[in-house]
């Protein structure tokens, strides 16, 4: 059974069709990259997967459950937004502990430190207020929050946007490590290079439809770019 | 670019913001409504004054009728004889009227804290209980009238917050400031022009509004000193707030931060400081329950108990010419009415000096308030505008002084005429009416 | 519940770590404490001043000496209004109205010597009383705090992270609302507590008033916090939410009360002073129904008294007819006063009732009305004092007239004097604030309106869906 399964997903905003029949599946231990330009429907797809919005048509399931209807899903699904915004008056550890407690998970200080180190956040930053953090550092806290949940599914919306090359690379490594541990990851992005580096499978989303699916092992980044640009002209 | 073009360009920030346009229109509406409310107060007062004057004329005509028909007074009161100076004066219907001032339409101020008129007799004092205001629901009066000065002094700064809080801060929040800097060269002059647009618009509106009362009452008071003063102080007030808010804008913080800073200043200047000053002054000088005044009135018995000789000496010291009157020439008086007139006059002299002490104490208390003007500018402007429209505390004190003065004139005339045994006729009565 | 408490705690932590906010709170705490202290001092001062004035008036009365009872009626005495302890929280109309009432024969005076007639306008919104801060400043503070809390979550995108952690919208909104609401409650209770400790509230009636006072503010603060949160959630941008809340605040605090007053005054107009005096004068001399002139009334009375004593002239009477006539005139005057001032009081009540119903649009008005009512400083309490004082005046004058009539003098003997002892034996006027239950049909409306508003906004808050947040 696929960890993430989307079939014939359609969604309209007033007169504008955001999704026009999206089909995709993500297996356990797989990273799926949803590649598309702004307004292609990436964020809408993720929000439907999170249960923040309901689909007009089609079915969506995460671990066989329907998001938005089955509340037990929240503990299995982690979300990392494009811009992880934290409480500036809390330090890294406190933010991690706070968000975890909201999910009914108690994280000790030691566990929090270990999680942050695992996510690549240097120990000297753990007790600094997050108002002093860079975007990459906040991203790592976001991932640590997701890890603390022991979630099976990770949904990432433009995770590498605005990150410097080193931080992007670290993110890729981290996600690959998660996938190696059996986590299913759906990552929406318009960063062709990063998606090629991170994802196992890439779906090109254009005007609310997946036009093509590629296995990143089979193509180079420049091939993906050519294919992508070709489809964008359609 | 001419100033007009610049202003036209910058006005787009108001005209394209629906919320600001609505706020501005509401403010304009509120000012006109407030002037209308002020006009209703003015009109009501004018009507009451006419009623009282008419009533006074009617009763004076009635007395003149008695003289004409050889009657001494109302039939049901046979003891009254209007040929006697005391009764003639009693029926003279003397009134002190708190006259309307055209600017009261804009600032009715404290007119509701005192009666519009008072019938004055020889016994009247500035602190009589019948000097009470018109009947009104005090719950509605807690924060005063919804008059123009209220709108201008208290709501204008709130309007300015709505119009100004996002000047420069919006551009800062939206990351537009650099672009503006590159386009305009100097950001300071750019946002200052936007402030100027607001200032000029509201200044023009002020001039229009201040002219409205003239149209409403059809009187020409346009270029008199009070009108110009009213306009001047209202204008200074507007530009004062603009200056204050401009200082906040110059700190270039976010929209929310600017709004909070502006509203905090408003709260302090409009609410907290005036309220603290009031509390402080009232604690130091609580509103009098006038027991001291009762003490003054209680003195009557002791004055009436003094010997006639002592009383006469005191009386002649004040009114030297009394010594030449018919009864002034006598060493003693047996007529209780004439004797009573002497004591009454002495008592009046005492009341007169005491009431002045009271009036001065009220003035002193008010001076304590004026010493707070520097930290309490909003209320200083409020009282200044009320002063120009003759509706402040000094106007109330003035009314009290006029009552005192009129009652004194009546008394003085009475003692001379009573001691000269003047027989009042219609000519004499008319002279009494001129007092 | 745990998550709700977490949000509550986190909001407090956020406030605690914000130096500017802490500074503002400390400033507010200082001003509130100062205000509470000033309120207590002023209340003490008011009590001392009223006692001393009452004692003075009484000592003057007791030292009146032997005097003709009717002259004593003209001498009269004074009643001074001393509002209850609760007036230290909300002075209501106290500055507007006088606290001195002269009680004398023939005439019913009105309260005189208001503070406003002796002072310039020091403040347009009253003195620095707890009510000023609790009604004006605390709601504004709540608006600024609660508006920022939601808008920041939305603007900075944390809301999706919070929701993805399994939180419900209600938990987020209610948790935050409770955090800010608790600040208002601390401000309210600490202010009330200072008054409670220093003013020695001991009577159950005062405590009942205090409880009512606190409940009204609790309902209003919850309303303000939840409304701000609803608006900041529903409206697209932060400045819109802030501006809307400020506009609502100005509308509720400043504009609607003034319009309400205009409408109520137009709907239930009061007579002008001139009309009022004229009507009283006419009714007194021509008779209430226009067919009973005073002259006829006196003649009829004289005839009946002469018949009762079986004599044919005033001088043959064993009693003093003047005293009886005076009392009859007094009683007739009372009827006239009841008719006219009763009409005015009725108009006040109707105006209040109408303005209360406008609270359906303006809950701030309901709060102000309830606050004044519980503090015992509204128009109804003021009228109650006037009525009590008038009752006293009637029995006071009746005693003097009865003494005049039956004390031993004969008709026309105006030089006859009563003993000082007689005057001393007339009880002084005593007044204690009315039980709050007397006006429950008024404050119940205020509380009901506040309750309906609070409940409605809470329901509205619970109806907010994810689409408003994301």
Residue of B nearest to C32 (CA): B272
For B140-183, the pLDDT digits (tens) are 887 677 889 999 999 999 999 988 988 888 787 777 776 777 76
State both tokens at C285: 């001399």
A63: closest CA of chain C, how far (Å):
16
- C296 with C322, same domain? yes
- B200 with B133, same domain? no
- Residues B231-258: what's their mean pLDDT? 91
- B113 with B176, same domain? no
Report the C-alpha gap between C132 and C371 in whole angstroms.
Answer: 11
Domains in chain B, number: 2
Crossing angle, helix C169-199 and helix C204-234, to 10 degrees? 150
- C245 with C155, same domain? yes
Cβ within 8 Å, pair B52-C246 = no
Q: What percent of chain B has pLDDT over 90?
A: 30
For C216-225, the pLDDT digits (tens) are 999 999 999 9
Instruction: Give the nearest partner residue to C167 out of A84, A85, A102, using CB atoms.
Output: A102
- C36 with C162, same domain? yes
Domain boundaries A1-76+155-234, corresponding CATH code: 3.40.50.300
Look at residues B246, B263, B284 and tell me which one is the last residue of a structural domain: B284
Strands (E) located in C92-197 = 100-103
For C100-116, the pLDDT digits (tens) are 899 998 888 888 888 87
pLDDT of residue B184: 65
Q: Which of A117, A124, A180 is nearest to A144 (CA)?
A: A117
Instruction: Give the nearest partner residue to C6 out of A47, A81, A101, using CB atoms.
Output: A101
Instruction: Give the residue numbers spanning the domain of B334.
Output: 38-146+286-433
- B46 with B174, same domain? no
Cβ within 8 Å, pair B143-C276 = no
Buried/exposed A151-181: b ≥16 CB within 10 Å, e otherwise: bbbbbbbbbbeebeeebbebbbebbbebbee
Residue of C nearest to A150 (CA): C165
- B10 with B140, same domain? no
- B12 with B152, same domain? yes
Q: Do chains B and C touch (3 or more CB pairs under 8 A)?
A: yes
- B122 with B82, same domain? yes
For C115-174, the pLDDT digits (tens) are 878 888 888 888 888 898 899 889 988 888 887 777 778 777 788 888 888 888 888 889
C354 close to B (CB below 8 A): no
Residue B31 lies in a domain: no
User: Would you say A149 and A103 are in contact if contact means Cβ atoms under 8 Å apart?
Assistant: yes
Assign B221 a pLDDT band (cuts: 50, 70, 90).
low
> What mean pLDDT, rounded, does chain B reach?
86
pLDDT of residue B2: 63
Contacts of C122 in chain B (CB under 8 A): 274, 277-278, 281-282, 369, 379
Cβ within 8 Å, pair C93-B260 = no
- C312 with C173, same domain? no
Look at residues B263, B284, B305 and tell me which one is the last residue of a structural domain: B284
Cβ within 8 Å, pair C466-A52 = yes
- Residues B88-96: what's their mean pLDDT? 90
User: Would you say A148 and A97 are in contact if contact means Cβ atoms under 8 Å apart?
Assistant: no
Instruction: Give the nearest partner residue to C470 out of A47, A82, A102, using CB atoms.
Output: A47
pLDDT of residue C239: 66
Instruction: Give the nearest partner residue to B256 out of C148, C264, C276, using CB atoms.
Output: C148
CA C209 to chain centre: 12
> What mean pLDDT, rounded, does chain C reach?
86
Residue B33 lies in a domain: no
Cβ within 8 Å, pair C265-B137 = yes
Residue C58 lies in a domain: no
Total CB pairs under 8 A between chain A and C: 68
Instruction: Give the nearest partner residue to C100 out of B275, B283, B289, using CB atoms.
Output: B289
Q: Which of C124, C258, C91 is nearest to B271 (CA)?
A: C124
Look at residues B233, B251, B284 and tell me which one is the last residue of a structural domain: B284
Instruction: Give the nearest partner residue to A102 out of C6, C156, C467, using CB atoms.
Output: C6
Report the C-alpha gap between C385 and C408 in whole angstroms.
Answer: 35
Instruction: Give the nearest partner residue to C161 out of A74, A81, A104, using CB atoms.
Output: A81
For C14-50, the pLDDT digits (tens) are 888 878 778 878 888 888 888 888 888 888 888 888 9
A226: closest CA of chain C, how far (Å):
33
- B301 with B415, same domain? yes
Report the C-alpha gap between A30 and A3 in whole angstroms.
Answer: 9
Residue of C nearest to A149 (CA): C165
Assign B52 a pLDDT band (cuts: 50, 70, 90).
very high
State both tokens at C195: 């008054």
A89: left (phi over 0), alpha (psi -120 to 50) or beta: alpha
Report the C-alpha gap between A18 and B209 in whole angstroms.
Answer: 54
- C143 with C247, same domain? yes
The answer, yes or no, to whether residue C287 has pLDDT greater than 80, is: no
Q: Cα-flanking dihedrals φ and ψ of residue B375, to 5°?
A: -95, -5
Cβ within 8 Å, pair C128-B272 = yes
Residue B32 lies in a domain: no
Q: The tokens 């403040």 sit on which residue?
A: C123
CA distances from C129 to B271, B276, C126 (A): 11, 9, 8
Subunits with 3+ C-beta pairs closer than 8 A to C: A, B
A162: left (phi over 0), alpha (psi -120 to 50) or beta: left
- Residues C303-314: what's their mean pLDDT? 86
pLDDT of residue B235: 96
- B271 with B367, same domain? no
C42 close to B (CB below 8 A): yes
User: Would you say B220 and B209 are in contact if contact means Cβ atoms under 8 Å apart?
Assistant: no
Q: What angle do CA C24, C27, C32 make, to 5 degrees?
A: 125
Report the C-alpha gap between C52 and C277 in whole angstroms.
Answer: 33
Please return the burial class of B337, using the count of CB atoms within 10 Å of its CB with bins 0-12, 13-18 and 19+.
exposed
Domains in chain C, number: 2
CB count within 10 Å of CB A89 equals: 17
- B81 with B179, same domain? no
- B108 with B154, same domain? no
User: Would you say B115 and B134 are in contact if contact means Cβ atoms under 8 Å apart?
Assistant: yes
Report the C-alpha gap between A49 and A28 in whole angstroms.
Answer: 16
Q: What percent of chain C has pLDDT over 90?
A: 26
Which of C149, C161, C468, C470 best probes binding to A when mutated, by most A CB atoms within 10 angstroms?
Answer: C161
- B278 with B343, same domain? no
Q: Which residues pair with B94 in a beta bridge?
A: B120
Three-class secondary structure assignment of chain B: CCHHHHHHHHCHHHHCCHHHHHHHHHHHHHHHHHHHHHHHHHHHHHHHHHHHHHHHHHHHHHHHHHHHCCCCCCCCCCCCCCCCHHHHHHCCCEEEECCCCHHHHCCCCCHHHCCCEEEECCCCCCCCCCCCCCCCCHHHHCCCCCCHHHHHHHHHHHHHHHHHCCCCHHHHHCCCHHHHHHHHCCHHHHHHHHHHHHHHHHHHHHHHHHHHHHHHHCCCCCCCHHHHHHHHHHHHHHHHHHHHHHHHHHCCCCHHHHHHHHHHHHHHHHHHHHHHHHHHHHHHCCCCCCHHHHHHHHCHHHHHHCCHHHHHHHHHHHCHHHHHCCCCCCCCCCCHHHHHHHHHHHHHHHHHHHHHHHHHHHHHHHHHHHCCCCCCHHHHHHHHHHHHCCCCHHHHHHHHHHHHHHHHHHHHHHHHHHHCCCCCCHHHHHHHHCC
Window 360-379 of C, Cβ < 8 Å to B:
369, 372, 378-379
Instruction: Give the residue numbers spanning the domain of C26.
Output: 2-40+128-267+458-469
The answer, yes or no, to whether residue B1 has pLDDT greater than 60, is: no
Buried/exposed C7-22: b ≥16 CB within 10 Å, e otherwise: bbebbebbbeeeeebe
Assign C358 a pLDDT band (cuts: 50, 70, 90).
confident
A9: left (phi over 0), alpha (psi -120 to 50) or beta: beta
- B51 with B62, same domain? yes
Q: Which long-range contacts (CB under 8 A, 24 or more apart) does B65-71 make?
A: B67/B425, B67/B426, B67/B429, B68/B426
Q: The tokens 């209610």 sit on which residue?
A: C174
CB count within 10 Å of CB B231 equals: 18
pLDDT of residue B435: 80
Which of B287, B364, B371, B400 best probes binding to C when mutated, by most C CB atoms within 10 angstroms?
Answer: B287
CA distances from A31 to A37, A45, A197, B120 (A): 19, 16, 11, 99
User: Which portions of chain A are predicted below pLDDT 50?
Assistant: none
For B95-147, the pLDDT digits (tens) are 999 999 989 999 998 888 889 999 999 889 888 878 888 888 888 887 677 88
């Amino acid at each position: 059974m696929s960890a993430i399964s989307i079939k014939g997903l359609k969604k309209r905003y007033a007169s504008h069709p955001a999704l026009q029949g999206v089909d995709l599946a993500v297996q356990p231990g797989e990273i799926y990259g949803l590649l598309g330009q702004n307004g292609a429907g990436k964020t809408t797809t993720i929000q439907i997967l999170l249960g923040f919005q309901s689909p007009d048509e089609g079915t969506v399931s995460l671990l066989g459950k329907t998001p938005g209807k089955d509340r037990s899903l929240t503990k299995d699904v982690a979300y990392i937004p494009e811009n992880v915004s934290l409480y500036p008056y809390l330090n890294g550890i406190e933010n991690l502990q706070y968000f975890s407690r909201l999910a009914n998970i108690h994280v000790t200080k030691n566990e929090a430190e270990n999680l942050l180190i695992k996510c690549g956040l240097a120990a000297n930053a753990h007790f600094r207020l997050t108002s002093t953090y860079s975007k990459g550092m906040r991203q790592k806290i976001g991932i640590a929050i997701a890890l603390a949940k022991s979630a099976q599914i990770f949904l990432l919306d433009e995770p590498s946007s605005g990150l410097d090359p080193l931080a992007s690379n670290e993110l890729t490594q981290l996600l690959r490590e998660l996938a190696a541990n059996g986590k299913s990851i759906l990552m929406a992005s318009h960063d062709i290079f990063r998606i090629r580096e991170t994802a196992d499978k890439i779906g090109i989303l254009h005007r609310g439809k997946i036009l093509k699916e590629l296995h990143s092992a089979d193509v180079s980044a420049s091939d993906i770019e050519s294919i992508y640009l070709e489809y964008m002209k359609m | 670019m001419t100033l007009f073009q610049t202003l036209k360009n910058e006005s787009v920030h108001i005209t394209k913001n629906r919320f600001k346009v609505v706020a501005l229109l509401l403010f304009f509406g509120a000012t006109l409504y407030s002037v209308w409310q002020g006009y209703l107060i003015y009109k009501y007062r004018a009507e009451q004054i006419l009623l009282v004057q008419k009533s006074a004329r009617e009763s004076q005509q009635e007395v003149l009728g008695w003289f004409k028909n050889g009657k001494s007074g109302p039939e049901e009161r046979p003891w009254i004889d209007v040929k006697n100076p005391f009764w003639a004066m009693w029926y003279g219907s003397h009134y002190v009227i708190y006259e309307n001032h055209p600017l009261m339409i804009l600032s009715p101020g404290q007119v509701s804290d005192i009666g519009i008129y008072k019938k004055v007799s020889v016994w009247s004092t500035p602190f009589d209980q019948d000097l009470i205001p018109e009947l009104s629901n005090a719950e509605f009066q807690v924060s005063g009238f919804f008059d123009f000065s209220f709108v201008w002094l208290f709501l204008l700064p709130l309007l300015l917050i709505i119009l100004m809080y996002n000047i420069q801060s919006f551009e800062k929040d939206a990351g537009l400031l650099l672009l503006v800097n590159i386009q305009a060269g100097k950001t300071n002059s750019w946002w200052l022009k936007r402030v100027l647009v607001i200032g000029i618009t509201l200044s023009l509106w002020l001039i229009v509004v201040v002219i409205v009362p003239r149209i409403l009452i059809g009187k020409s008071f346009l270029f008199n000193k009070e009108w110009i003063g009213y306009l001047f102080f209202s204008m200074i007030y507007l530009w004062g707030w603009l200056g204050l808010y401009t200082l906040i804008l110059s700190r270039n913080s976010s929209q929310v931060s600017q709004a909070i800073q502006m509203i905090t200043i408003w709260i302090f200047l409009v609410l907290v400081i005036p309220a603290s000053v009031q509390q402080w002054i009232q604690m130091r000088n609580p509103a009098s329950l006038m027991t001291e005044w009762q003490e003054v009135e209680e003195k009557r018995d002791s004055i009436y108990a003094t010997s006639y000789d002592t009383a006469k000496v005191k009386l002649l010291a004040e009114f030297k010419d009394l010594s030449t009157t018919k009864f002034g020439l006598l060493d003693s008086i047996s007529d209780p009415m004439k004797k009573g007139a002497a004591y009454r006059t002495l008592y009046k002299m005492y009341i007169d000096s005491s009431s002045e002490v009271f009036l001065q104490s009220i003035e002193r208390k008010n001076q304590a308030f004026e010493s707070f003007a520097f930290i309490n500018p909003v209320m200083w402007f409020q009282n200044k505008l009320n002063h120009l429209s003759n509706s402040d505390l000094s106007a109330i004190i003035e009314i009290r002084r006029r009552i005192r003065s009129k009652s004194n004139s009546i008394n003085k005339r009475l003692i001379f005429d009573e001691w000269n045994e003047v027989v009042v006729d219609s000519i004499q009565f008319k002279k009494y009416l001129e007092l | 519940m745990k998550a709700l408490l977490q949000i509550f705690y986190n909001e407090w932590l956020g406030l605690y770590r914000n130096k500017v906010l802490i500074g503002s709170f400390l400033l507010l705490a200082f001003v509130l404490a100062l205000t509470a202290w000033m309120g207590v001092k002023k209340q003490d001062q008011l009590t001392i001043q009223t006692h001393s004035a009452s004692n003075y008036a009484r000592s003057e009365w007791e030292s009146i000496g032997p005097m003709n009872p009717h002259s004593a009626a003209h001498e009269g005495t004074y009643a001074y209004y001393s509002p209850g302890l609760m007036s230290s929280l909300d002075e209501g109309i106290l500055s507007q109205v006088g606290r001195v009432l002269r009680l004398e024969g023939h005439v019913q005076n009105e309260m005189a010597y208001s503070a406003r007639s002796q002072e310039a306008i020091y403040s347009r919104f009253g003195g620095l009383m707890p009510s000023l801060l609790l009604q004006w400043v605390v709601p504004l503070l709540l608006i600024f705090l609660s508006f920022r809390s939601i808008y920041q979550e939305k603007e900075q995108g944390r809301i999706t992270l919070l929701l993805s952690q399994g939180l419900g919208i209600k938990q987020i909104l209610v948790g935050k609302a409770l955090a800010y609401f608790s600040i208002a409650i601390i401000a309210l209770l600490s202010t009330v507590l200072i008054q409670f400790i220093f003013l020695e509230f001991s009577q159950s009636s005062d405590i009942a008033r205090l409880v009512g006072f606190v409940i009204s503010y609790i309902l209003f603060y919850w309303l303000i916090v939840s409304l701000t949160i609803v608006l900041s959630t529903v409206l697209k941008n932060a400045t819109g939410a802030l501006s809307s809340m400020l506009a609502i605040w100005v509308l509720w605090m400043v504009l609607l009360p003034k319009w309400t007053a205009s409408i109520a005054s137009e709907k239930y107009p009061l007579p002008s002073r001139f009309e009022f005096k004229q009507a009283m004068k006419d009714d007194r001399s021509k008779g209430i129904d226009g067919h009973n002139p005073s002259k006829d009334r006196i003649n009829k009375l004289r005839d009946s008294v002469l018949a009762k004593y079986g004599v044919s002239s005033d001088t043959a009477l064993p009693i003093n007819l003047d005293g009886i006539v005076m009392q009859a005139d007094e009683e007739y005057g009372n009827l006239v006063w009841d008719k006219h001032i009763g009409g005015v009081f009725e108009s006040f009540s109707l105006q209040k009732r109408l303005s209360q119903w406008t609270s359906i649009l303006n809950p701030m008005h309901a709060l102000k009305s309830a606050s004044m009512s519980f503090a015992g400083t509204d128009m109804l309490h003021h009228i109650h004092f006037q009525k009590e004082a008038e009752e006293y005046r009637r029995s006071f004058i009746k005693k003097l007239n009865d003494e005049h009539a039956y004390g031993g003098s004969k008709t026309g003997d105006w030089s006859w004097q009563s003993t000082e002892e007689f005057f001393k034996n007339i009880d002084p006027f005593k007044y204690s604030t009315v039980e709050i239950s007397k006006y429950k049909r008024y404050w119940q409306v205020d509380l009901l309106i506040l309750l309906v508003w609070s409940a409605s906004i809470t329901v509205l808050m619970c109806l907010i869906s994810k689409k408003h947040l994301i």
